[in-house]
Amino acid sequence: AYGRAQAYVYLNDGSCLNAKALSEGKCRYDSTCRARLAEQLKACEKEAQAGRRGMWAAAAAAPPAAGYS
């Protein structure tokens, strides 16, 4: 998407850095990406939103930008 390379990053313990960052509210899921882990990554973002973590901690978190869920 957007003419850039996208990748999954796995840590030495086998965990997925992408999922960890989403769960901590440090980034947004890019719904234009046809990821094999799409459902898991979307769930991580929703978990962060529900828990008001990271960028979702503000009382009135910014709405998703176009192309993001």
Q: pLDDT tens for residues 15-38? A: 999 999 999 999 999 887 777 888
pTM of the entire structure? 0.76
Structure tokens at 53: 């973590």
Q: Residue 13: CA atoms inside 13 Å, Cβ hemisphere, count? A: 4
Q: What is the pLDDT of residues 38-63, one digit of tens each?
A: 899 999 999 999 999 999 998 555 66
Grouping H, G, I as helix, E, B as strand and the rest as coil, residue 49 is helix
